[in-house]
Structure 1
Amino acid sequence: MTPRVTVVIPVYNEGDTITRCLDRILREVLLPAEVLVVHDMPDDTTVPFAQAVGRLDPRVRTVLNTYGRGPANAIRFGIDAAQAPVVVVTMADGCDDPRQIDELARLVDRGVVVAAASRYMPGGQQVGGPRLKRMMSKWAGRTLHLFARAGTRDATNSFKAYDTAFVREVGIESRTGFEIGLELTAKATRLRRPVAEIPTIWLDRQLGESRFDLGRFLPGYLRWYFFTYGRRLSPERLAAKVPAQRVPAQADFQKTR
């Protein structure tokens, strides 16, 4: 059966903590789904634990990212490898609420190209996390919503659902960090494609350490923040401004179980 939603989880040496993450996702996602655990190295400590879950539930498979190390490349690879018409990106740290994956996917089924889980709309909340990062993220989201009509108050959140065909149409340029969520929101806004949001409660990770490096990732965020503002673009003009990458055939992907 072809899945209706592909859940992409970029990982880096999560060890046995991935088991709890996957158990929650498999329990809460009711739509026909595949869950791709995308890792950068064959010896990543996440792999044996994710594969153990996959042997019990065929929805889960580990996928070796060959685009280059880092979360942006892992997310790009996972979206390109997706078999479903909807892709949901979520993290392995337990910050995102897996009960909302189906709801986000259904918004895409209804016609939006980006569906965001929003911490900053009424009913949403962020619990914990670095104060400066939280303030900057909230400011960016609210200003983009107010002045660029971005369709979400939380453009920087990585927990989003995407129309797979839309992502393959516009391509992904980001190569570092987690700014893909902002990039795709920016492109949808400039193309005047529909973006929607639902409230979410984001909880700071309880296990492991965050690998978010604000100083390193900030230039990418600023690029897409300012790109969001501007006149409507046609797909052809968007491609001229930020050329889309070739989407490899499914045979190009190296997969492990």
Structure 2
Amino acid sequence: MTPRVSVIVPVYNEGEAILRCLERMLREMLLPAEVLIVHDMPEDTTVPYVEQVARTDPRVRAVLNTYGRGPANAIRFGIDAALAPVVVVTMADGCDDPRQIDELARLVDRGVVVAAASRYMPGGQQVGGPRLKRMMSRWAGRSLYTFARVGTRDATNSFKAYDTAFVREVGIESRTGFEIGLELTAKANRLRLPVAEIPTIWLDRPLGESHFDLGRFLPGYLRWYFFAYGRRLSRAALAARAAGSRSVPPPRAPHDSTEYEKTA
């Protein structure tokens, strides 16, 4: 059966912890789905556990990213490998609510190109996480919603569903961090395509420590924050931008597990 939704999960040495993430996800999803666990290297400690699950659940498969190291390239590769008309990007750290994967996918089925899980709309909440990161993402989300009218109060959250054809048409230019969520929201806004949101409760990861590197990731977020404002663009113009970005080799990112933690 062809899946209706492809779930993209970038990982880096999650090891046995991925089992809990997959168990919750597979239990909660009702739509026909595939779950792509995207890793950067064959020896990633996540892979044996994913293969263990895949032996009993054909929805799951481990996918080796060949686009370059880091979460942005893993997400790009996962979307290109997806079989479904809708893709949902979520993390392996347990912060996102897997019960909402189907709900986000159904919004895309109804015609939006980006469906966001929003911490900052009525009914949403963020529990835990670094204070500075919370303040900055809340300010960015609310200002983009109010002044750029992007359609969501949480443009920086990575937990989103996308129309697969839309993403492949406009392309992804981001190569570091998790600014892809903001990039695709900004592009949808400049095309004047519909974006929707549902409230979500984001819970800080129970294990590990966040290492948000403001200096490293802020330039990418600012680029797409300001891009969201402006006149309407054509699909051809955005596709040409993405084609230009693909001609530049991606930077070689270090194998650092902290890069795989949410950065907004």
Most deviating of 237-246 and 117-126: 237-246
Q: Which residue of 2 aligns with 1:146?
A: 146
TM-score (structure 1 length as normaliser): 0.93
Q: Which residue of 1 aligns with 2:56?
A: 56
Q: Which amino acid aligns with 1:192?
A: R
Moved over 4 A (4+): none
Q: Which amino acid aligns with 1:61?
A: R
Q: Is the 8 A contact 1:172 1:244 kept in 2?
A: no
Deviations 1:128-152 (A, max 9, x none): 0000000000000000000000000
CA apart distance, 1:245: 6.6
Q: Which amino acid aligns with 1:60?
A: V
Q: Which amino acid aligns with 1:36?
A: L
Most deviating of 204-213 and 126-135: 204-213
CA apart distance, 1:56: 1.2
Q: Which residue of 2 aligns with 1:233?
A: 233
Q: Is the 8 A contact 2:71 2:178 kept in 1?
A: yes
Q: Which runs of 5+ in 1 are unaligned?
A: 247-257
CA apart distance, 1:235: 1.1
Q: Which residue of 2 aligns with 1:70?
A: 70
Q: Which residue of 1 aligns with 2:163?
A: 163
Q: CA RMSD in A?
A: 1.2
Q: Which residue of 1 aligns with 2:26?
A: 26
Identity %: 85
CA apart distance, 1:240: 4.0
Counterpart Cα distance in 2 of 1:37 and 1:211: 22
| Residue 89 of structure 2 is aligned to residue 89 of structure 1 | yes
TM-score (structure 2 length as normaliser): 0.91
Q: Is the 8 A contact 1:127 1:202 kept in 2?
A: yes
Q: How does 1:1-257 map to 2 (within 5 A)?
A: 1-210=1-210, 212-243=212-243
CA apart distance, 1:50: 1.0
Q: Is the 8 A contact 1:11 1:92 kept in 2?
A: yes
Counterpart Cα distance in 2 of 1:213 and 1:66: 25
CA apart distance, 1:239: 3.1
> How many matched pairs?
246
Q: Is the 8 A contact 1:87 1:105 kept in 2?
A: yes
Q: Is the 8 A contact 2:172 2:184 kept in 1?
A: yes
Deviations 1:136-186 (A, max 9, x none): 000000000000000000000000000000000000000000000000000
CA apart distance, 1:241: 4.3
Counterpart Cα distance in 2 of 1:78 and 1:98: 18
Q: Is the 8 A contact 2:116 2:198 kept in 1?
A: yes
Counterpart Cα distance in 1 of 2:236 and 2:67: 25
Q: Is the 8 A contact 1:169 1:244 kept in 2?
A: no
Counterpart Cα distance in 1 of 2:17 and 2:10: 13
Counterpart Cα distance in 1 of 2:47 and 2:141: 34
CA apart distance, 1:28: 0.2
Q: Which amino acid aligns with 2:180?
A: I
Q: Which runs of 5+ in 2 are unaligned?
A: 247-264
Q: Which residue of 2 aligns with 1:255?
A: none
Counterpart Cα distance in 2 of 1:88 and 1:151: 18
CA apart distance, 1:234: 1.1
Q: Is the 8 A contact 2:130 2:210 kept in 1?
A: no
When residues 244 and 33 of structure 1 are mapped into structure 2, their CA distance, relative to the original with a 3 A threshold, is farther
Q: Is the 8 A contact 1:117 1:197 kept in 2?
A: yes
When residues 21 and 194 of structure 1 are mapped into structure 2, their CA distance, relative to the original with a 3 A threshold, is same
Deviations 1:225-248 (A, max 9, x none): 0000001111123234443677xx
CA apart distance, 1:208: 2.9
Q: Is the 8 A contact 1:177 1:212 kept in 2?
A: no
Q: Is the 8 A contact 2:169 2:239 kept in 1?
A: no
Q: Which secondary structure does the structure 1 equivalent of 2:243 belong to?
A: coil
